[in-house]
Amino acid sequence: MQTFRDVIKACGGADALAAYLGVPCERVRKWRTRDTLPPEYWLETTAAARSNKKKLKLEDLAHIARRRRETHESSMAGSPF
């Protein structure tokens, strides 16, 4: 999995992950759109993926977050803001 969108898909999609986490479906749909996943949900998300027979570790989520941060920082380099 390379993105948080991939993670959400591996958990059965936005609606399935929302049900597993006990949060509104719209919240997870927004995460998917923004390609983000708040760290406070990572542990439960790994369990949701495993329930769908997908391998997902906390380290995987940390690597995705680091790549996103590095990409964001490099895109901001040279920005006047």
Tokens of 4: 């948080």
> From the CB of residue 51, how many other CB atoms can be counted at a distance below 10 Å?
12
Determine the pLDDT at residue 1: 85
In contact, 35 and 66? CB cutoff 8 Å: no
Mean pLDDT by 10 residues, the chain (81 residues): 95 97 98 97 96 94 94 69 57
User: What structural domains and CATH numbers belong to the chain?
Assistant: 4-72 (1.10.260.40)
Q: Give pLDDT, residue 73.
A: 74
